[in-house]
Amino acid sequence: MAGAAGPDRENRGVAVAGDIVSGRYVLDQPIGSGGMATVWRARDQVTGENVALKRMHARVQDDPDLIERFRREAQAVSRLSHPAIVRLLDEGQDDDGPYIVFELVEGTNLKALIRDKGPLPPETAASVASQVARGLELAHRQGVIHRDIKSHNVLVTDDGTAKLTDFGIARLLDGDQGGLTRTGTVLGTSDYLAPEQARGLAVDGRSDVYSLGIVLYECLTGELPFPADTPMGVAQRQVRDPLPDPRAVMPTVPPYLAAATLRACEKDPSARFSTALEMSDALLDAPQGTTGVLPVVALPADDEVTGALGITPAPEDEDGATSVRQAAVVVAPPAAAPPPPAAPPADEPPHDAAPGDPVIHTAAKNRSRRLWPGFMAAGLILALVVVGVFIVWGRGGAGDRVGNGAPAPVKVPASAAGGSGAATGDVTTLKLASVKDVDPSGDGREMPAEVPLAYDGNDQTFWRTEKYATPDFGGVGKTGVGLELTLQQPAVATRLDMITKGTGGAFEVLAGPPGADTRVVGKGTFTNGAQSVDLTPGAASDVYTLWITEPPPNVDGDGYRAYVGEISLQGTPG
């Protein structure tokens, strides 16, 4: 480190404003500090941009475990590229030790926002939590478990964008944990610890889901659910006590958000949302007439420790957050708790969290180490191309609509346009020009980002309706939702083929867009797998609609929801 005070400083690595790091970054002022590092606002002399620079304290640089943890933070997030995760810009080391450089997020951490404003409006709470969940989904797919989800580690900008920070104790599921082993160590922050985490057992993505559920509870109520005199007492309550219904504190919390919060915080990991993406979807599934949000579109998821195990408080951060360290107080499991997921536990040194610490990523670095499942890739890449990466508050945004405000159709590429069109007798697989979701008596949108999954050539991917509380779409007068298929040329369709999940419900096939006078050419119920519906021939049409009049019971949880994959039409061109 070069700077006015550098050569005369008594203690190596004690940074001051005006110091220059690696000849490039000029320190301005500290914006967060913890037991291991301080985060500075700095200026990049090469680009002229303001950045956040995390500098490790000199007093801990002789601890090889903490040096390794600092390095692992960069390693963990360098494989992640998502709008809800703070971006890595640079990392390195100079004479005063290691440093990491991040994008500077102009905003406040969620903990401070709640302290300042109290309970957040339900739509804001759902938006923040759903954005973080989408970022976590990517992290989990890339083998990174955060393990310290808390409101202090979520940055919120003035326009409502949420960004997840501080992967300092993240676990790399595919990485070597050698050199960081401390048997029985409990890592995390007691107010947000998942039960299995508090007991020192194995963790997976569902542990982050639990912690995010606590954050959502805090957003909705303005308080934490398990107050106690000591961090040990908090952790014991995390293991033992069911989460209170947030409506007991804040009666205005919508029922669907209360249900999502309670499910995320189930003591049994198998009873929670199975993935962070599923939790995000639940936060989107607002019944008609209640709060609705659409978050960032994601880039397309033991053995019990024996002996005495518990926690003791670590030094408090500036804003009062208390981290957790190993100790010798027993945290007893609940009587009927099933065993946690059988992944090997991570052993790393205790964590002293820095409030507002940014976290990092490099868009391409290390991404090739893990490939997403093939069945997601085609549909999600296409979804990204069609929809883009965006943030909207409410159920729609200007960029998603054309002309008079109708949802923009999804263009179908030639490879997914209903086959080659080769004739079989007088019948041809009809070529599609576009597919779009339709919800004319609702908000006009029905999971538009997932529409490409209905024709991506993979029978394991599905477009879904929203989730409804009852089979009559929640009893709000909605007559149906569906998919509108526009052909490249008018034709007489004689058969609809599709793959579905779930059994029951009802649908119609319309020769034209939904409307009172549109001709019904076929009817059916949902079956689990491939199904075909013979259609009544009539006048040629260039639009056919799969019109769902009653969604079947949801196969992935409560409520009612239809799933449609690989839809196509057979018929005779007109």
Q: Give the class (CATH, top level) of 107-353.
A: mainly alpha
pLDDT of residue 172: 67
- Contact status, residue 230 vs residue 371, Cβ threshold 8 Å: no
pLDDT at 188: 76
Whether the Cβ atoms of residue 83 and residue 102 lie closer than 8 Å to each other: no
Q: Across the strands, what pairs with 506?
A: 550
Measured CA to CA, the distance from residue 261 to residue 265 in angstroms comes to 6
* pLDDT at site 552: 96
Q: For residue 572, what pLDDT is reported?
A: 94
Q: Write down the pLDDT at residue 171.
A: 73
Q: Which residues contact 104 (CB under 8 A, 6 or more apart)?
A: 41, 49, 50, 51, 52, 358
Q: Is 148 a catalytic residue?
A: yes
Residues pairing with 159 in the sheet: none
For domain 20-103, which CATH number applies: 3.40.50.300, 3.30.450.20, 3.30.300.30, 3.30.200.20? 3.30.200.20
- The pTM score is 0.53
Q: Are 552 and 468 in contact (CB under 8 A)?
A: no
User: Does the fold of domain 375-573 match that of domain 20-103?
Assistant: no
Give, in degrees to the nearest 5, the angle at Cα 409 between 131 and 126. Answer: 20
Residue 244: per-residue pLDDT: 93
Closest by alpha carbon to 182, among 64, 60, 346, 352?
346
Question: What is the per-residue pLDDT for 135?
Answer: 92
Q: Where are the domains of the chain?
A: 20-103, 107-353, 375-573
One of 96, 148, 204, 281 is an active-site residue; which one?
148
Quickly count: other Cβ atoms within 10 Å of residue 506's Cβ: 17
Burial class of residue 487 (count of CB atoms within 10 Å of its CB; 0-12, 13-18, 19+): buried
Contacts of 299 (CB under 8 A, 6+ apart): 81, 82, 138, 380, 384, 389
| Counts of helices then strands in the chain (DSSP H, E) | 9, 26
**Residues whose CB falls within 8 Å of the CB of residue 47, separated by 6 or more in sequence, listed in order:** none
pLDDT of residue 287: 63
Contacts 24+ apart (CB under 8 A), 400-403: 400/445, 400/448
Q: Is 36 within 8 Å of 352 (Cβ atoms)?
A: yes
* CA nearest neighbour of 344 among 85, 143, 569: 143
Query: In one letter, which amino acid is 21?
Result: V
Q: Write out residues in the chain with pLDDT < 50, as ranges.
A: 1-12, 175-184, 289-425
**Which amino acid type is present at position 168?**
G
Q: Looking at the domain that runs over 375-573, which CATH code has it been given? A: 2.60.120.260
Distance CA 167, CA 354 (A): 11
